[in-house]
Chain A
Amino acid sequence: DAGVTQSPTHLIKTRGQQVTLRCSPKSGHDTVSWYQQALGQGPQFIFQYYEEEERQRGNFPDRFSGHQFPNYSSELNVNALLLGDSALYLCASSGLGRGSYEQYFGPGTRLTVT
């Protein structure tokens, strides 16, 4: 059973560019959350997708957007990249309903903005 997968593993972009990160949830999971983790800090919640809609959003600007597909996979898009967007981007998936007590995290995508 594959866990949460993310691609790419590493990415280097230039300021002002746009980037798309991808996530496939754990089998049987339908909810995907994205987190940003700056060096030396805990992960910070960006947003969450369920039933192809953004359900919750953290304190991130509109430059951060996302999408969820019918197969529950998800994309995170960041426009007009800033140096401060350099971070580890984590995807987490969870299941439906009361049994959904655990979030499974992927290995992350390391984004470097130069």
Chain B
Amino acid sequence: DAKTTQPPSMDCAEGRAANLPCNHSTISGNEYVYWYRQIHSQGPQYIIHGLKNNETNEMASLIITEDRKSSTLILPHATLRDTAVYYCIAHELISSGSARQLTFGSGTQLTVLP
């Protein structure tokens, strides 16, 4: 999997949008951009993934640049419960019966401030 680079920490005011950047300049054409988050003392939780188009779900939006070298995860209205470590992962899907392992970096500690 390609290496990703994220800032170690960010703050965001409650109710404002949180924009978490990720650089993945060596991403290959068949690697998706995945985002997971880990709230303290819990297992990681899947947020969203995308290949080259922007994606949105009930949790977040994912904006991928046209050259696919970077992306931004957007939490539109951050709440205190969004305080967590956010991991950006470049991950290849395979179609056989097993999923390739996730390679986690250090992630970004997002702190939502009241």
The chain B residue sitting closest to A106, CB to CB, is B43
B92-105 Cβ-contact flags toward A at 8 Å (1 or 0): 01011111111111
Q: What chain B residues lie within 8 Å of A14 (beta carbons)?
A: none
Taking a contact as CB atoms under 8 Å apart, the answer to whether B101 and A45 are in contact is yes
B32: chain A residues within 8 A (beta carbon): 101
Taking residues whose C-beta sits less than 8 angstroms from the other chain, chain B's interface range is 20 to 34
| Contact mask for chain B residues 9-52; partner A; CB cutoff 8 A; 1 contact, 0 none | 00000000000000000000000100000000011111001000
Q: Which residue of B32, B42, B101, B103 has the most chain A CB atoms within 10 A of its CB atom?
A: B101
Q: A105 — which chain B residues lie within 8 A by C-beta?
A: 43-45
Measured in the bound complex, the distance between the Cα atoms of B32 and A100 in whole Å is: 13
Residues on B with C-beta less than 8 A from A108 are 42-43
Cross-chain contact B95 with A98 (CB below 8 angstroms):
yes
Partner of B97, one of A30, A101, A104, A107: A30
- Output the nearest chain B residue to A42 by Cβ-Cβ distance: B104
Tally of chain A residues near chain B (CB < 8 A): 31
CA distance A30 to B96 in the complex (A): 12
B106 within 8 A of partner (CB): yes
Q: Mark A76-114, 1 if CB is under 8 A from B, else 0.
A: 000000000000001010101110111111111000000
Q: Is A55 an interface residue (CB 8 A)?
A: yes
Most buried by A among B32, B42, B43, B107: B43
Partner-A contacts on B (CB < 8 A): 32, 42-46, 49, 85, 87, 93, 95-107
Given contacts A45-B102, A50-B98, A108-B43, 7 further A-B contacts (CB under 8 A): A31-B99, A42-B106, A43-B44, A92-B43, A98-B95, A101-B93, A105-B43
Name 20 interchain pairs, CB-CB below 8 A, sorted by A.
Answer: A4-B43, A33-B102, A42-B87, A42-B104, A42-B106, A50-B98, A56-B98, A56-B100, A56-B101, A92-B43, A97-B97, A100-B99, A101-B49, A101-B93, A103-B99, A103-B102, A105-B44, A105-B45, A107-B43, A108-B43
